[in-house]
Amino acid sequence: MSFNQNRRTFIRNTSLVTLSLSLPIEKIQALAAPSTDKVRVGMIGVGLRGQEHVRLMAAREDVTIIAMADPDKTMMATAQNIIAKAGKNKAVEFTNGNHDYKNLLARNDIDAVIIATPWEWHIPQAIDAMSAGKIPGVEVCGAIHLQDCWDVVNKSEQTKIPVMMLENVCYRRDVMAVLNMVRKGMFGELLHLQGGYEHDLRGVKFNDGITPYNSGVEFGAKGYSEAKWRTQHSVDRNGELYPTHGLGPVATMIDINRGNRLTKLSSIATKSRGLHRYIVNHPKGGANHPNAKVQFKLGDIVTTQIQTANGETIVLTHDTSSPRPYNLGFRVQGTNGIWQDTHAGEFNAGMIYFEDKSKPHTWENTEKYMKEHDHPLWKKYEQQAEGAGHGGMDWFVDNAFIECIKRKAPFPLDVYDLATWYAITPLSEKSIAEGGSLQTIPDFTKGQWKNRKPIFCVGQEEY
Amino acid sequence: MSFNQNRRTFIRNTSLVTLSLSLPIEKIQALAAPSTDKVRVGMIGVGLRGQEHVRLMAAREDVTIIAMADPDKTMMATAQNIIAKAGKNKAVEFTNGNHDYKNLLARNDIDAVIIATPWEWHIPQAIDAMSAGKIPGVEVCGAIHLQDCWDVVNKSEQTKIPVMMLENVCYRRDVMAVLNMVRKGMFGELLHLQGGYEHDLRGVKFNDGITPYNSGVEFGAKGYSEAKWRTQHSVDRNGELYPTHGLGPVATMIDINRGNRLTKLSSIATKSRGLHRYIVNHPKGGANHPNAKVQFKLGDIVTTQIQTANGETIVLTHDTSSPRPYNLGFRVQGTNGIWQDTHAGEFNAGMIYFEDKSKPHTWENTEKYMKEHDHPLWKKYEQQAEGAGHGGMDWFVDNAFIECIKRKAPFPLDVYDLATWYAITPLSEKSIAEGGSLQTIPDFTKGQWKNRKPIFCVGQEEY
């Protein structure tokens, strides 16, 4: 696809989608059989996260990595090595500062870009990509300003270029098994959902400036990898800074933006202790280390209550500055059953209960149900996904991005999902700043949610 | 103690407490050695819950049950049987309607009363008890109106008669072991706490009018025991109706009303589905049963976010209308560790993690820690508590009530705790009615929280 073909294709595709709202999903899928063999991809951001996308894209026969942009030449070299190891051609490099990605976007041999940059760049770069006729796949985070969410939606609507929200946890194997059980009606009517980002990131937010993890107490200019930019958000902001891993999976289960929508939230935050304590207690830190003077604004644990149009409630927890085992804290509860996730996605590590199946008032281990209701997509692509990042789920989200482009099919996680999920961050910051006040979550679909049908893992066999 | 002695005693006791605010706790305890051998008790409400208190009081050599009030003659007969089986003298009965308890209160041979009546009676009866010079021990629930909380505080301050909040879960063995670990500093500085009442009560809210549990779909006039009165609250009210089991234990850990206080809350509720569904699906119910027409106002899951003066946050969950295993959902998280409760208080059924003890990023089973830090009170009184209600914790809460009266010592859970915890209910109702708005939690101590010292299980060896 050239740039112009690409735009025409998506104009056609968009009108097809609009037309097909009244058609059953199967019809849409039939119409959307693959018509493009090869997707020409540009990578924007090839740091440690971006390199996983490079690895996945380089391994695919239906993708050519044309170019990559990143101001960090060391990261760029590593990314080129990944491509070389996969036996693919070297990508064109754009490493001339933060804005050189615009030259990548100006090329006419790129169909789509994957954006895996520091948070503040996601939406500006997605918008620039659409302006240049490229389809952006955008990594997770929260918005910096609420207006950013409107801007990305408006740009997509104006250009008719779709955007994919690359939320990998929607494809976590246990999460998809639970989605499968939800779709089969095993939980009854859903009522209450929880999720979060409960991950001790202290050893990521700080390092020694040379190696990325658990190596020191530096950040910002003296830090390396994520510590270079991510930690500053903990200095400047107090809110649900990373909502999508917790929210995305449960949003797909209750059809957010597709028959349902998020309406209101309020957030509260604990005092901020963990990051300062980490610096002071670290062998390379101490009370006299300059970073011991830094005031961190981010509360150690941020809780957000969300209401929906269809009467479910959601609780999100952001917990990244305290010592704790990793757990996204999922809970899916309906009129007939409840699942609680306690670990990191292992099939046998949660608790589950169904009124019509379990011994009364007694938790069951999840393993039996997870195996029995393993999602067809995982069964089919288990081997391809093996070795991909985050237990294989990264393969699925990148696969969906490429397969949809090839088929000219709507993305299962789209620009409205991106805007809605990203919006949690600035709204939660405002809520906390106002003492926990109630905030209205905008309807980025402008009423379309009432007629849009669920498409995440509905009917498709390929993504 | 006679009524007049009793009033004088407590006036003295109160001034002693006021005086002793600047004294170390050990001094207070030394001054508060037992000076009364026998406490003369009246029971107000001897239904299924009250009968457990009757059993515990009848078993004690330091208590005489003088009289009992309950309009239900069957329940009264059962309560008298309990006393007889314990080899104690029959109690004087007051069964002449809902207000006959006032005649019990008018007696001059009763020192204290235990109030275990339907929720709406707790505060009026506690106030009447104080007016009659009796010390009330009050069962758990939430207030009907916020003003009730002020009324009970004002009455106690005016009469100088103390009130004990009979929150048994504060004495649950694992909860007390965790409190012990909190006090030893093992969790570091506390940050975030969770609790709730997550208990499938459908088989309690409805029965056949003859047996209490899981026997039918009747309630109100046609119901039996709790179904007679408790269920109507689910028809009329939408809020955190039963806050104290979840809140009380975590409140003692962060010194609420004693160096800290609750400041604000907001609540959200899911749609209401579970109770209607239960009626419709029950073999004795069905879509044509008259109760299938009842509209239940109570959302199936109610979530409440609470903020504190010292910067901790609390999340409460009320979840009593859905199929699920019992779990109060405790979480205690500090700068150095986290505990998550997943079952019903079994020592080996939770997850725990301490930065300085656990394998990095890995949950440990709780059993080792629970055993090692088993609270001294439990070690000492394990045998006495054995067989008492709710795994023994009922023995401890009733023991505290009696021992404090004997020693003229301040109650570990007092009228300010009662008012603060009960207040969550009307405030959460208001929040939900206003779409999830932020509510201010009154300071019932009127500033005393700044100087009051923690006394729950501090220093005492007996309660």
A322·B315 Cβ contact <8 A: no
Instruction: Read off the pTM.
Output: 0.93
B300·A325 Cβ contact <8 A: no
Q: Are residues B177 and B151 in the same domain?
A: no
Number of residue pairs across A and B with CB atoms under 8 Å?
Answer: 152
Q: Count CA atoms closer than 13 A to A58's CA, side-chain side.
A: 24
Distance of residue B128 Cα from the nearest chain A Cα, in angstroms: 38
Candidate from A303, A323, A436 with C-beta closest to B315: A303
Tokens of A204: 């990521």
Q: Which of A33, A54, A59, A31 is nearest to A42 (CA)?
A: A54
- What's residue B35's pLDDT? 60
B299: chain A residues, CB-CB within 8 Å:
311, 313
User: Looking at chain B, which residue has its C-alpha nearest residue A214?
Assistant: B360
Residues 169-188 of B with CB under 8 A from A: 188
How does residue B460 score in pLDDT terms, banded at 50, 70 and 90?
confident
CA separation for the pair A369, A371 (Å, rounded): 5
In a domain, B407, yes or no: no
Distance of residue B362 Cα from the nearest chain A Cα, in angstroms: 5
How large is the average pLDDT for residues B170-185?
A: 98
A435: chain B residues, CB-CB within 8 Å:
264, 307, 438
Q: Establish if B436 touches chain A: CB-CB under 8 angstroms.
A: yes
CATH code, domain with A282: 3.30.360.10
B274: chain A residues, CB-CB within 8 Å:
335
How many CB atoms are located within 10 Å of the residue A12 CB? 12
A334: chain B residues, CB-CB within 8 Å:
322
Average model confidence (pLDDT) across chain B = 93
A436·B324 Cβ contact <8 A: no
Q: Which of A425, A95, A459 is nearest to A267 (CA)?
A: A425
Give yes or no for a contact between A300 and A274, defined as CB atoms under 8 angstroms apart: yes
| Angle CA B342–B346–B349, to nearest 5 | 40
DSSP state of A296: P
Residue A102, pLDDT > 60, answer yes
- What's residue B342's pLDDT? 95
Higher pLDDT, B34 or A460: A460
How large is the average pLDDT for residues A92-99?
A: 98
How large is the average pLDDT for residues A386-407?
A: 93
Q: Are residues B347 and B367 in the same domain?
A: yes
Residue B420, pLDDT > 90, answer yes
Q: Are residues A126 and A256 in the same domain?
A: no
How large is the average pLDDT for residues A325-351?
A: 97
Q: Establish if A86 touches chain B: CB-CB under 8 angstroms.
A: no
Give yes or no for a contact between A52 and A26, defined as CB atoms under 8 angstroms apart: no
In a domain, A422, yes or no: yes
A361·B200 Cβ contact <8 A: yes
B340·A342 Cβ contact <8 A: yes
B277: chain A residues, CB-CB within 8 Å:
188, 335
Kindly list the distances between the CA atom of residue A103 and the CA atoms of A99, A100, A159, in Å, as whole numbers in the listed order. 8, 5, 20
Average the pLDDT over each of A112-126, A136-150, B359-373, B447-461 and give the range with the smallest value.
Answer: B447-461
Distance of residue A107 Cα from the nearest chain B Cα, in angstroms: 45
3-state helix, strand, coil in chain A (%, to 5): 40, 15, 40
CA separation for the pair A360, A344 (Å, rounded): 27
CA separation for the pair B70, B66 (Å, rounded): 14
Tokens of B334: 């500090």
- What's residue A463's pLDDT? 85
How does residue B15 score in pLDDT terms, banded at 50, 70 and 90?
very low
Distance of residue B421 Cα from the nearest chain A Cα, in angstroms: 19
CA separation for the pair A75, A462 (Å, rounded): 32
Q: Are residues B105 and B192 in the same domain?
A: no
- What's residue A23's pLDDT? 36
Distance of residue B333 Cα from the nearest chain A Cα, in angstroms: 9
Q: What is the pLDDT of residues B123-170, one digit of tens each?
A: 999 999 999 999 999 999 999 999 999 999 999 999 999 999 999 999
Exposed / middle / buried, residue B79 (Cβ in 10 Å: 0-12, 13-18, 19+): buried
In a domain, A303, yes or no: yes
What is the widest separation between alpha-carbon atoms in chain B? Answer: 66
Tokens of B400: 């505290």
User: Looking at chain A, which residue has its C-alpha nearest residue B356?
Assistant: A323
B326: chain A residues, CB-CB within 8 Å:
361
Separation of CA B144 from chain center: 15
Average model confidence (pLDDT) across chain A = 93
Residue A25, pLDDT > 80, answer no
Q: Which of A105, A111, A99 is nearest to A129 (CA)?
A: A105
The domain boundary residue, chosen from A161, A181, A211 = A161
In a domain, B400, yes or no: no
Residue A14, pLDDT > 60, answer no
Domain that holds residue B294: 170-379+415-450
The domain boundary residue, chosen from A135, A161, A187 = A161
In a domain, B401, yes or no: no
Q: How far apart are the first and last CA of chain A?
A: 21
B324·A333 Cβ contact <8 A: yes
In a domain, B239, yes or no: yes
Q: Establish if B433 touches chain A: CB-CB under 8 angstroms.
A: no
The string over B46-75, giving b where at least 16 C-beta atoms fall within 10 Å of a residue's C-beta and e elsewhere, is: bbbbbbbbbbbbbbbeebbbbbbbbbbeeb
Give yes or no for a contact between A454 and A255, defined as CB atoms under 8 angstroms apart: yes
How does residue A35 score in pLDDT terms, banded at 50, 70 and 90?
low
Residue B32, pLDDT > 50, answer no
In a domain, B65, yes or no: yes
Distance of residue A301 Cα from the nearest chain B Cα, in angstroms: 7
CATH code, domain with B85: 3.40.50.720
CA separation for the pair A132, A152 (Å, rounded): 14
Residue A131, pLDDT > 80, answer yes
- What percent of chain A clears pLDDT 90, i.e. is strictly above it? 89
3-state secondary structure at position A265? strand
- What's residue B11's pLDDT? 35
- What's residue B237's pLDDT? 98
The domain boundary residue, chosen from A136, A161, A186 = A161
Give yes or no for a contact between B414 and B215, defined as CB atoms under 8 angstroms apart: no
User: Looking at chain B, which residue has its C-alpha nearest residue A326?
Assistant: B361
Q: Are residues B220 and B310 in the same domain?
A: yes
Residues 285-314 of A with CB under 8 A from B: 299-301, 303, 305-307, 310-313
Distance of residue A219 Cα from the nearest chain B Cα, in angstroms: 21
- What percent of chain B clears pLDDT 90, i.e. is strictly above it? 89
Element (H, E) at B204: helix B202-205
Q: How far apart are the first and last CA of chain B?
A: 21
Q: Which of B260, B267, B196 is nearest to B238 (CA)?
A: B267
Q: Are residues A291 and A322 in the same domain?
A: yes
A269: chain B residues, CB-CB within 8 Å:
313
In a domain, A372, yes or no: yes
Residue B402, pLDDT > 90, answer yes
Give yes or no for a contact between B243 and B267, defined as CB atoms under 8 angstroms apart: no
How large is the average pLDDT for residues B30-38?
A: 60
Distance of residue B364 Cα from the nearest chain A Cα, in angstroms: 10
Q: Which of A351, A433, A369 is nearest to A173 (CA)?
A: A369
Q: Are residues A102 and A189 in the same domain?
A: no
Q: Are residues A202 and A284 in the same domain?
A: yes
Element (H, E) at A230: helix A230-236
Residue B29, pLDDT > 70, answer no
- What's residue A460's pLDDT? 76
**Residue-by-residue DSSP string for A166-197:** --GGGG-HHHHHHHHHHHTTTT-SEEEEEEEE
B334: chain A residues, CB-CB within 8 Å:
322
Give yes or no for a contact between A204 and A211, defined as CB atoms under 8 angstroms apart: no
Residue type, A163: V
Q: At what angle do helices A73-85 and A48-59 cross, to 10 degrees?
A: 20
Which three-class secondary structure string do you get for A140-174?
CCCCCCHHHHHHHHHHHHHHCCCCEECCHHHHCHH
- What's residue A5's pLDDT? 36
How does residue B34 score in pLDDT terms, banded at 50, 70 and 90?
low
How large is the average pLDDT for residues A96-111?
A: 98
Give yes or no for a contact between B301 and B319, defined as CB atoms under 8 angstroms apart: yes
Q: Are residues B192 and B151 in the same domain?
A: no
How does residue A37 score in pLDDT terms, banded at 50, 70 and 90?
confident
Average the pLDDT over each of A29-33, B33-37, B424-428 and give the range with the smallest value.
Answer: A29-33
Q: Which of B418, B449, B409 is nearest to B151 (CA)?
A: B418
Average the pLDDT over each of A343-357, A359-373, B20-34, B383-397 and give the range with the smallest value.
Answer: B20-34
Q: Are residues A143 and A177 in the same domain?
A: no
DSSP state of B241: -
Residue A4, pLDDT > 60, answer no
Q: Establish if B364 touches chain A: CB-CB under 8 angstroms.
A: no
How does residue A353 score in pLDDT terms, banded at 50, 70 and 90?
very high
CA separation for the pair B79, B216 (Å, rounded): 25
The string over B247-284, giving b where at least 16 C-beta atoms fall within 10 Å of a residue's C-beta and e elsewhere, is: bbbbbbbbbbbbebbbbbbbbbbbbbbbbbbbbeebee
CA separation for the pair A327, A310 (Å, rounded): 27
Q: What is the pLDDT of residues A64-87, one digit of tens each?
A: 999 999 999 999 999 999 999 999
Q: Are residues B355 and B374 in the same domain?
A: yes
How does residue A2 score in pLDDT terms, banded at 50, 70 and 90?
very low
How does residue A216 score in pLDDT terms, banded at 50, 70 and 90?
very high
Count of the separate structural domains present in chain B: 2
Partners of residue B195 on adjacent β-strands: B316
B337: chain A residues, CB-CB within 8 Å:
323
CA separation for the pair B292, B397 (Å, rounded): 39
Strand A313-319 relative to strand A301-308, pairing? antiparallel
- What's residue B14's pLDDT? 38
Distance of residue B453 Cα from the nearest chain A Cα, in angstroms: 22
Residue appearing with tokens 């990373």: A242
Element (H, E) at B83: helix B73-85
Q: Are residues A221 and A349 in the same domain?
A: yes
